[in-house]
Amino acid sequence: MRLKRVLKNKYLFENGLNIGLSNEIINEYDLKRREELSQDEYLKVLELAALSTSYFYLAKRDYTKKEIYTKLLQKYWEKIPVQKVILILEVKGYLNDLEFAKNYVKNKKGGRKKIEYDLKVKGVSSADIEEALGSYESEDELLELKKAWEKLGSRDDQKKIASLMRKGFSYSDIKKILAEKQEEEC
């Protein structure tokens, strides 16, 4: 694989991949003097660069395996080094979809359906979602629903119901809250 130095730490590979590399990688593979890498060296350079990038991403926020895989694949293009990085991160305990789901459920506002949908989109398995939602009690959801109802203010009840359903609350729970509010007014 031919490579060309574009800037100080930026390299352009013959396949069109243009990435910045750390000084450690540049020195380890003596990239300042070389113009060509074997396929194995190329994949190892990508793996090291992707690992470094993944640490940077994970320092900012938690990611699911799917999210970090997609993000790294967009940047480094090669599946094998990115898959190796995902395995390394899992072994080291930096990636754990179940823990991600539990934290997401604990910190996210909205109904059970919305949270479940969001976690599915993020690539969390159904088993992990169910386990994480096990701690999400119906009392918590009703309390969250009451807060959301109050936050909507003096809007029409039908508009409130529609808004809350979009936020993932069930119609039966909304009806319970509505009935409670009507009893309080009487």
Q: How far is CA 134 from the centre of its chain?
A: 21
pLDDT at 134: 84
pLDDT at 20: 93
Q: Both 81 and 103 in a single domain?
A: no
Q: Both 7 and 77 in a single domain?
A: yes
pLDDT at 147: 87
pLDDT at 112: 85
pLDDT at 138: 66
**Distance of CA 185 to CAs 17, 177, 178, 180, 182, Å?**
65, 12, 11, 9, 5
Q: Both 8 and 81 in a single domain?
A: yes
Q: Both 89 and 102 in a single domain?
A: no
pLDDT at 8: 84
- Residues 123 and 64 sit within 8 Å (Cβ to Cβ): yes
pLDDT at 108: 83
Q: Both 111 and 145 in a single domain?
A: no
Residue 119's Cβ-count burial label (10 Å; 0-12, 13-18, 19+) is buried
Return d(Cα 117, Cα 104) in angstroms, integer.
12
Q: Can you list the residues of the chain whose pLDDT is less than 50?
A: none
Q: Both 14 and 45 in a single domain?
A: yes
- Domain of 127 in residue numbering reads as 96-136
* pTM of the shown model: 0.80
Q: Both 115 and 38 in a single domain?
A: no
Into how many domains does the chain fold?
3
Q: Both 49 and 85 in a single domain?
A: yes
Return d(Cα 121, Cα 113) in angstroms, integer.
12
CATH code (residue 59): 1.10.10
